[in-house]
């Protein structure tokens, strides 16, 4: 059972929230290689989100190689999903470099960032190498 939430008041577009949510389901192992994704109309109904918005998220996830559509039978998780997600996350990290330079320049010390990371990484399990 997939659990996704969308916050329509967020400045993050809903389709991006959907992408992030699906990626989370996959990295958490709730959705595995070959598993079917909920149909667009199903997810649209359960989340109260416009079908076009679901569609947009699915198309983008397909573009990234995380999911794939089998004509007539919906979307399913690809074998390379985990790897592709990791790749986009690494790109995201790289894009934060300018932001962190600003933080550092404003006086935020590395120790504070380390404390922040301690919070983030507590309880993060060592990810065994899964080739999925």
- Which residues bind to DNA, rule: CB under 7 A? 8, 13-16, 37, 39-42, 48-53, 55-56, 58-59, 69, 71-75
- What angle is formed at CA 6 by the lines to CA 131 and CA 44, rounded to 5 degrees? 90
Q: Which residues 43-102 are close enough to bind a copy of itself by CB under 8 A?
A: 63, 68-71, 73, 76, 82, 85-86, 89-90, 92-94, 96-97, 99-102
Contact flags string 112-131 toward a copy of itself, x per CB under 8 A = xx--xx-xxx--x--x----
Nearest to 57 by CA among 29, 26, 21, 81: 21
Q: Which does 15 bind (CB under 5 to 8 A by kind): DNA, a copy of itself, none?
A: DNA
Q: How far apart are CA 71 and CA 48, in angstroms?
A: 25
Q: How far apart are CA 99 and CA 92, in angstroms?
A: 12
């Amino acid at each position: 059972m997939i659990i996704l939430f969308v916050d329509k008041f967020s400045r993050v577009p809903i389709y991006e929230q959907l992408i992030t949510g699906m990626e989370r389901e996959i990295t958490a192992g709730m959705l595995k290689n070959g598993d079917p994704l909920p149909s667009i109309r199903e997810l649209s109904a359960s989340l109260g989100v416009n079908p076009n918005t679901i569609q947009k998220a699915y198309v983008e996830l397909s573009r990234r190689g995380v999911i794939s559509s089998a004509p007539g039978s919906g979307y399913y998780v690809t074998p390379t999903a985990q790897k592709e997600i990791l790749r986009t996350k690494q790109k995201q990290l790289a894009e934060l470099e300018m932001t962190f330079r600003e933080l550092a320049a404003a006086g935020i010390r590395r120790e504070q960032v380390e404390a922040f990371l301690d919070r983030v990484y507590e309880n993060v399990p060592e990810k065994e190498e899964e080739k999925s």
